[in-house]
Each structure stands twice: as structure tokens, then as C-alpha cells.
Amino acid sequence: MDRQKVLVPYNFTNYDDKALDFVIRRFADDKGVEVTLFNAYIPLPKIEFRSSPIMEKMSSNLAYLQQKIHEQETGIKQAREKLFQNGFSSDRVHYIFKALNKGVAQDVIDFVLGNEFDVVVLNRNPGKITRFFTGSVSNKVMKSLKEVAVYVVT
């Protein structure tokens, strides 16, 4: 029996928690649903270090950023645990934590299409004026995924 595959892009905001709560209410009791949490983080640059005070300072800054990435991975694992605590079995929940490649929206679209997801649950952060000029991730994803059900939680 094929499971219905649900993707939840997750970026550690209160709006993402609302989307996760929606997934729990909507899908926790349906044993035929598999959920994947997805986060694409900005990768750290590869820098060759030589001994100099500037490079040593840069090295400590990169170590700090590496720690932040590790904290984000811990955060997505905690979101997965929340799904476990609310009725999902471990074989029904996965997470993808990967370096950003083309941009958040395009990485989500590529992942959905490449892995044949049936449903995407997005959130929308209301009220940001920059979205007027750049377009929101949720709008870009919705416009690109014609064969996939997209829920937008506000």
C-alpha cells in the first residue's frame, strides 16, 4: 500500500509551529500518511586558512556559524519528536536537513517533484513588505506545483 507523502518545509518560526500543529490535527490519525520535515540551510563557505590574526578571527566566526547550523538540525529533530509525541510512529516521520542549493522555494519545488510528494504544508508569514517586491516562498511554491495539493497555514 502506498502512503500519502506530506512535505513540511520547516524554518524554526512560530508560523512553522502552526503548520506542524495543522499536520498533527489533520494527519496524525491517518496511518497511511508519511511526513517529511524539510530545511535547507545556508552553507558555510570553504576557506583556506593561513596563520594570520584576521584568518584566526574568521575561523572563530565560522565555528560560531557551524554551531548555529548544528542547533538548527537539533531544532528540526525536536520538531520530529513533536510529531512522535502526537501520534505519528517513527516509520511515518522523516526529516531532510541539507545545504541550500538554488534558493528556498526552488529547493522545495525540486525536492517535492523529485520525491513525488502528494501534499505540501506551507506557512505564510503575513505582513512583510519585502514579499511585495521579491515574492514569498509560499507563492512561488504554489505557482510551481500544479499536480500537488498545497495547504497554506496562516
Whether residue 2 lies inside any domain: the answer is: no
Q: Using a pLDDT cut of 70, give the percent of the chain over it.
A: 85
Whether residue 3 lies inside any domain: the answer is: no
pLDDT at 1: 52
- The residue range of the domain holding 106 is 10-153
Nearest to 103 by CA among 53, 40, 21, 154: 40
Whether residue 123 lies inside any domain: the answer is: yes
- Tell how far CA 49 is from the center of its chain: 32
Whether residue 15 lies inside any domain: the answer is: yes
In contact, 93 and 84? CB cutoff 8 Å: yes
Whether residue 134 lies inside any domain: the answer is: yes
pLDDT tens-digit profile of 70-110? 999 999 999 999 999 999 999 999 999 999 999 999 999 99
Q: At CB < 8 A and 24+ separation, what contacts does 17-24 make?
A: 18/123, 18/153, 18/154, 19/121, 19/122, 19/123, 19/153, 20/79, 20/82, 20/83, 22/121, 22/151, 22/153, 23/83, 23/121, 24/82, 24/83, 24/86, 24/87, 24/88
pLDDT at 124: 76
47 vs 89, more confident: 89
CATH number at 110 reads: 3.40.50.620
Interacting residues of 131 by C-beta distance below 8 A, sequence separation 6+: 125, 139
User: Do the bridges between strand 33-41 and strand 119-123 make them parallel or antiparallel, or are there none, so unpaired?
Assistant: unpaired
Per-residue pLDDT band at 29 (split at 50, 70, 90): very high
pTM of the model: 0.85
- In the chain, the number of structural domains is 1
> What average pLDDT score do residues 109-130 get?
83
Whether residue 82 lies inside any domain: the answer is: yes
Whether residue 100 lies inside any domain: the answer is: yes
Nearest to 80 by CA among 69, 92, 66, 68: 92
